[in-house]
């Protein structure tokens, strides 16, 4: 099976980042590990967000963030909790793989990207909404090919095999879902912690334009990134 190339070049195909194949593999892996740890600690992050929102003497001010008027409020407790998760992940990756962190380690809080802790929590609840349909499709397509000769023929004719179909989907996601795209500037997107989610949502918004792989998602029952899985 031919090896997939995950290299991306800034300014090409919408990418804002430039990574070799090796660097992109590390970047994607590190991001997914971070998201796993965020989900593991999500109950703590949620409680931290409530502390920030209800903290005495921590008032908000109305600001036009470019996404309408929002309540901008400092988020010191969430910031501390989030940096604890990030530091834990960075140390674990260093011990296991000998890797330095790829990209920025900036956590946007109390700014135009993430104006308050409520927006922070809402943003990171999207992780499962992004990943669940992709995982479902990767797992389900093999089952469908086994159950239906017609679907197997379509997959083999279009992609070569079920494994090649899976590889094409993951290659597209790992390249274009983690390329720093999706924002109006480098501050809004890029390789920061918040920008990684922005890039993935940007990929999700363009899925229906990727006709070959979108058809596979539809075959597997995909109805959107807000469905039940």
- Looking at the structure, tell me whether residues 49 and 146 fall in a common domain: no
Length of the chain: 229
DSSP state of 102: P
- Looking at the structure, tell me whether residues 229 and 152 fall in a common domain: yes
For the ranges 93-97, 183-187, 207-211, 212-216, the lowest mean pLDDT is seen at 183-187
Is the per-residue pLDDT at 3 higher than 70? no
Mean pLDDT, the chain, as a whole number?
Answer: 93
Is the per-residue pLDDT at 53 higher than 60? yes
Instruction: Count the domains in the chain.
Output: 2
Model pLDDT for residues 116-133, shown as the tens digit of each residue: 999 999 999 999 999 999
- Looking at the structure, tell me whether residues 93 and 110 fall in a common domain: yes
Indicate the pTM of the whole model: 0.92
Q: Residue 223 class from Cβ within 10 Å (0-12 exposed, 13-18 middle, 19+ buried)?
A: exposed
Residue 69 CA to residue 86 CA, distance in Å, equals: 30
- Give the percent of the chain with pLDDT over 90: 85
Decide if 75 contacts 112 (C-beta within 8 A): no
- Looking at the structure, tell me whether residues 61 and 160 fall in a common domain: no
- Comparing 61 with 216, which gets the higher pLDDT? 216
Is the per-residue pLDDT at 217 higher than 50? yes
Residue 140 CA to residue 152 CA, distance in Å, equals: 12
- Structural domain boundaries, residue 110: 16-124
Once rounded to an integer, what is the mean pLDDT over residues 33-50? 97
Helix axes 211-219, 126-147, angle to 10 degrees: 80
Quick check: is 132 in a domain?
A: yes
Quick check: is 198 in a domain?
A: yes
Quick check: is 3 in a domain?
A: no
Model pLDDT for residues 183-194, shown as the tens digit of each residue: 765 555 578 999
Q: Residue 146 class from Cβ within 10 Å (0-12 exposed, 13-18 middle, 19+ buried)?
A: exposed
């Amino acid at each position: 099976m031919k090896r997939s190339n995950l290299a991306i070049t800034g300014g090409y195909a919408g990418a804002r980042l430039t990574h070799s194949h090796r660097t992109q593999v590390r970047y994607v892996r590190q991001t997914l590990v971070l998201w796993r740890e965020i989900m593991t600690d999500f109950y703590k992050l949620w409680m931290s967000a409530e502390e920030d929102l209800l903290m005495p003497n921590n008032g908000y001010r109305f600001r036009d963030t470019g996404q309408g008027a929002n309540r901008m409020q400092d988020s010191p407790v969430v910031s501390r909790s989030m940096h604890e998760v990030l530091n834990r992940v960075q140390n674990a990756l260093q011990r296991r793989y000998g890797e330095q962190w790829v990209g920025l380690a900036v956590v946007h809080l109390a700014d135009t990207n993430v104006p308050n802790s409520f927006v922070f929590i809402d943003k990171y609840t999207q992780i499962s909404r992004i990943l669940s349909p992709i995982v479902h499709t990767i797992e389900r397509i093999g089952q469908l090919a086994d159950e239906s000769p017609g679907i197997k023929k379509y997959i083999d004719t279009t992609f070569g095999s079920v494994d090649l179909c899976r590889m094409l989907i993951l290659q597209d996601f790992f390249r274009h879902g983690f390329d720093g795209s999706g924002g109006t500037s480098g501050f809004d997107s890029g390789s920061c912690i918040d920008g990684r989610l922005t890039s993935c949502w940007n990929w999700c918004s363009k899925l229906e334009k990727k006709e070959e792989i979108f058809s596979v998602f539809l075959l597997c029952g995909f109805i959107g990134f807000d469905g039940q899985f």
